[in-house]
Amino acid sequence: MARNSAETRRRLVEAADKLFYGHGIQAVGVDAVALAAGVTKRTLYYHFKSKDDLIAAYLDARDLPTLGRYQGVADGPAAPAAQQIERIFTQMETNARNRDWRGCSFVRAACEFAGVTNHPARIGAARHKKRFEGWLQDLLEGEGIKDAAALARQIMILFDGAVTQILIHRDTSYAQAAGAAALTLLQAHRVEKAPVRPPQRKGGARKA
Nearest to 156 by CA among 105, 85, 90, 102: 85
Tell me the whole-structure pTM to 2 decimals. Answer: 0.88
Tens digit of each residue's pLDDT (9 = 90 or more) over 16-49 = 999 999 999 999 999 999 999 999 999 999 999 9
Query: Do 28 and 70 share a structural domain?
Result: no
Alpha-carbon distance of 52 to 112, in angstroms, equals 13
**Which CATH number is 42's domain given?**
1.10.10.60
pLDDT band at 205 (very low <50, low <70, confident <90, very high): very low
- Residue 204 resides in a domain: no
Buried b (16+ CB within 10 A) or exposed e, 156-188: bebbbebbbbbbeeeebebbeebbebbbebbee
Query: Do 43 and 86 share a structural domain?
Result: no
Largest separation between any pair of C-alpha atoms in the chain: 100
Q: How high is the pLDDT of residue 206?
A: 41
Domain count, the chain: 2
Query: Do 100 and 29 share a structural domain?
Result: no
Query: Do 77 and 34 share a structural domain?
Result: no
* Interacting residues of 43 by C-beta distance below 8 A, sequence separation 6+: 2, 3, 8, 34
Query: Do 71 and 42 share a structural domain?
Result: no
**Which CATH number is 166's domain given?**
1.10.357.10
- Residue 184 resides in a domain: yes
In the predicted model, is pLDDT for residue 200 greater than 60?
A: no
How much is the CA Rg of the chain, to the nearest whole Å?
23
Between 181 and 74, name the one with better pLDDT: 181
- Torsion-angle region of residue 103: left (phi > 0), alpha (psi -120 to 50) or beta? left
- Residue 206 resides in a domain: no
Query: Do 67 and 34 share a structural domain?
Result: no
User: Do 152 and 133 meet the contact criterion of CB atoms below 8 Å apart?
Assistant: yes
pLDDT band at 194 (very low <50, low <70, confident <90, very high): very low
Query: Do 65 and 168 share a structural domain?
Result: yes
Query: Do 67 and 168 share a structural domain?
Result: yes
Which residues constitute the domain of residue 8? Answer: 1-48
Tens digit of each residue's pLDDT (9 = 90 or more) over 74-124 = 975 678 999 999 999 999 999 999 999 999 999 999 999 999 999 999 999
Query: Do 81 and 28 share a structural domain?
Result: no
Query: Do 130 and 32 share a structural domain?
Result: no
- Residue 201 resides in a domain: no
- Residue 90 resides in a domain: yes
